[in-house]
Structure formats: C-alpha cells, structure tokens
Structure 1
Amino acid sequence: MDRAETRARIATLLEPFNKKGVALTDATTFAGDLEWDSLTVMDFVAAIEDEFDIIISMNQQAEIETYGQLVDAVITIKG
C-alpha cells in the first residue's frame, strides 16, 4: 500500500471526527487544529487499528502529533 492510498483511507476514517471541517494537510495537528481531547484520540486510534489490522503502542501514539506523522507511522507499522 502506497502513501497516497494510506493517506486516503485515513482521511476517510478521520472525516466523522473532523467536526470543524478542517482541511487536512500533513502538518494538521490533532490537538491543536482538530481540537481533539484524549477520548476522541482513543476512539480514532481504535478505528485506525481496526481498519489497518495493526496495533499502535502508547509510546508511538505519544510521538504522533500530526496527520502526516500518523500516515507515516501506519505505513511503518504495516511494513
């Protein structure tokens, strides 16, 4: 799976969580731009894990602050 396909699948999953309709770029932050709280993050991570059949560790989650970082992390974990 290439980066564009991964990015598109994540964007589709993110849509219901994007209450403010923020335009997504690789630099879009979850806490700042999307204004997500920790519960929203956990729900979204669960959706990502289900969609891609992966596990994102708590340490990895702590390092992911932007949409682009998430796309790269999913690609790396998926291998």
Structure 2
Amino acid sequence: MTDRQTIFAQVAEQIAPFNKKGVALNEGTTFAGDLEWDSLTVMDFVAAIEDDFDILITMNMQAEIETVGQLVDAIVKLKG
C-alpha cells in the first residue's frame, strides 16, 4: 500500500461517522454534494483530520478542497 492509499484509508475511516447516507467513497466523492455536509459537519471533520494526521488545514486550503481525493492530496503535501 502506498502512502497515498494509506492516507485515503485513514480519511475514509474519519469520514465513516459523518457518512449518514452510506455513500460509497472514491477520489471524486464531494463533501458538499455527495455527502451533503453542512459547514458545522465540515468543521468537526476537519478538526478530526487535523488531530489524526497532526497537521493544520488553513481556511484557504479548506475552501479549495471539494473532493476526498483533493483532501488526500492536501494531506500528502502537508505531511511532505
């Protein structure tokens, strides 16, 4: 398993408690559209991701991240 695959798996684990509709996750899954998250859910999820990976995702980065794949890319870059 590559680092990216490992990170995707960890992200999927973090998404699970917030995935009320049981949406199947892939790189293109969107947080607002597919998962139908509101801003409060996003804030809770971002906090969980930051704690899990020991990173800080800025508000500017959050605004650019729309899909699971983009989040994984951002984590890879921040962990770099």
Q: Could you state the TM-score of these two structures normalised by the residue count of structure 2?
A: 0.96
Mapping for residues 38-77 of structure 1, pairs under 5 Å: 38-77=39-78
Structure 1: 5+ residue stretches without partners? none
C-alpha deviation, 1:61, in angstroms: 0.3
Mapping for residues 17-36 of structure 1, pairs under 5 Å: 17-36=18-37
Instruction: State the SS of the aligned residue for 1:35.
Output: coil
> Residues of 1 paired with 2:75 and 2:14: CA distance?
13
C-alpha deviation, 1:16, in angstroms: 0.2
Q: Which amino acid aligns with 2:75?
A: V
> Residues of 1 paired with 2:12 and 2:35: CA distance?
13
Q: Which amino acid aligns with 1:56?
A: I
Q: Could you state the TM-score of these two structures normalised by the residue count of structure 1?
A: 0.98
Runs ≥4 residues deviating over 3 A: none
> Residues of 1 paired with 2:10 and 2:28: CA distance?
17
Corresponding residue number in structure 2 for 1:11: 12
Structure 2: 5+ residue stretches without partners? none
Identity of aligned residues (%): 71
Equivalent pairs counted in the alignment come to 79
> Residues of 2 paired with 1:71 and 1:17: CA distance?
17
What's the Cα RMSD here? 0.8
